[in-house]
Chain A
Amino acid sequence: MQSAGAPTPDDAAGLLARIAEGDRDAFGRFYDTFAGLALGLIRRILRDPAASEEVLQEVFWQIWQEAARYDPLRGSPEAWLVMRAKTRAIDRLRAIRRRGKTFVAPVDEAMAKTPEQPTENPGVVAERRGLVRSALDGLPEPQRRVVELAFFEGLTQSEIASRLGEPLGTVKTRARLALERLRSLMKREGTTPA
């Protein structure tokens, strides 16, 4: 996230290097910069504010302990964090769904129904959010569905295929086309994360 005062991607990588050495302040800055991004994604996936904050804490605790494993050649710190946040959130979602098949379901349902209280982050983020939204909207509907079912609902490609009643091969191709298209849409909008 490149809002005013936020570190550039190089800075973010620098922060991670300092975190790896046990620098508490660097960790605080990294959190301030990226926690909102991670939390938004986690909440979009889990829809439960309390569980989302738990997952957020797990993700950042993992960052504190494993910052040394960040490899700049693999991608930006932002992408590294988002992937971790997403994986953790989906793991939690699957655990909730598994439990949902037992008699504890009503508890989870009640939790899931807790009304969302979006805490908007104004300014640059909102502006960029609009741009990303328009990038997603720029996808043909079938491609957008595949991205949303995978990324926000944690379905696997086979699950998406059976949900949409499409062949698996079609779903795989759509996922690829969607990401290629998103990439070029975001570049055009100037919103590509580094």
Chain B
Amino acid sequence: MNRDEVIELAAGYALGALEMEDRARFEALLAAGDAEARAALRDFESTVAGLAAETAEAAPPDVKAALLARIDAEGRSRGTLTQILSAARPAPPRRSLWTVVAVGAMAAAIAAIAVGLAVSTVYDRRISQLAREQALLKEEFTRQEELVTILQDPATRVVALSGLPPAPEAKARMLWHATAGGLLVAQGLPPAPAGKAYELWAIAGTGAPVPAGVFAVDARGVGSLRVAPLRSGGPPDTFAVTLEPAGGVVAPTGSMYLVGKL
């Protein structure tokens, strides 16, 4: 490796911008004690550190307080553990297994408390964010699970919906299960105008259409809708999609875009 290359790697390293492979090469040089690599890096790192001054702020006192509390908690746990262990030492011959277990359990309990103290305010925020993420994941998982159940059940029917004059190219598939509800996936629909949305209808024989949910389509004209089991009307044999006011309506008013029969 020539000198220019070493300097170039040092610059990239100081900026933290090297690819993994280059970084490994440069770290190997550092580890091997390459004087040139070290000098160049030292030089560039201090230049780069100078850039941080551009954005310097006041040191926040609450972070300092949290850190000092954490240090104190750590100190307490160290001290207490030492005391317990030395206190347990004087009478080894008479110490039963039970004592060892008890001292161990006590030490573990104290360590747990100390750790609990240390993991304080900072982690609260992260924990609540993780909880939010977990709730979302759980929701998503439940949704996927329902879909798998629907797909696995032989009683699930597949309905093909085809496009009508407003969008003759549009088509959709409807998975329908009498008690679990279903899933509609549509494609080729024009994006709904502002204030409008597509609404799905389930129709049983000659009965009135029952609203089954509203959905939007993305820029590619693709949209999907998880349909809850219907609470009114008989077992549907026809599904249709119309364009309606965005919130949905109780009876169809707009043009029909898709229709299909079981």
Contact = CB atoms under 8 A, between A and B. Distances in A.
A183 B43 contact: yes
B143 to A, nearest CB: 11
Contacts of A50: 125
Nearest to A37: B56
Contacts of B148: none
A85 B30 CA distance: 21
Contact of B56 (A86, A121, A183): A121
Q: Which of A38, A50, A58, A156 has the most CB of B within 10 A?
A: A156
A175 B51 CA distance: 14
B46 A79 contact: yes
A150 B17 contact: yes
Q: Which of A82, A156, A179, A192 has the most CB of B within 10 A?
A: A179
A182 B50 CA distance: 9
A156 B49 contact: no
B144 to A, nearest CB: 12
B66 to A, nearest CB: 6
Interface residues of B, number: 49
Nearest to B7: A176
Nearest to A104: B133
Interface in A16-51: 24, 27-28, 31-32, 34-41, 43-44, 50
Contacts of B38: 73-74
B70 interface: yes
B46 A151 contact: no
B51 to A, nearest CB: 6
Contacts, number: 193
Interface in B1-51: 7-8, 11-12, 14-19, 22, 38, 41-51
A107 interface: yes
B54 A132 contact: yes
Interface string B92-126: 00000000000000000000000000000010011
Nearest to B15: A150
A179 B12 CA distance: 9
B53 A1 contact: yes
B58 interface: yes
A13 interface: no
B153 interface: no
A193 B22 CA distance: 27
B213 to A, nearest CB: 20
Interface string A62-88: 001000000001111011011101110
Interface string B191-228: 00000000000000000000000000000000000000
Given A82-B49, A104-B133, A150-B15, A172 B56 contact: no
Contacts of B67: 27, 31, 57, 60-61, 64
B47 A75 contact: no
Nearest to A25: B68
A184 B95 CA distance: 70
A185 B44 CA distance: 13
A43 B56 CA distance: 10
Label chain B's interface by main secondary structure: helix
Interface in A155-178: 155-158, 160, 172-173, 175-176, 178
A143 B9 CA distance: 16
A74 B143 CA distance: 54
Contacts of A53: 60, 62-63, 122
B219 to A, nearest CB: 17
Given A43-B57, A121-B57, A83 B8 contact: no
B134 to A, nearest CB: 11
A115 interface: no
B136 interface: yes
A118 interface: yes
A75 B54 contact: no
A128 to B, nearest CB: 5
A100 B46 CA distance: 33
Contact of A82 (B52, B62, B72): B52
Contacts of B68: 24, 27-28
Contact of A61 (B17, B70, B132): B70
Contacts of A87: 16
5 contacts: A24-B71, A39-B59, A40-B54, A129-B56, A160-B17
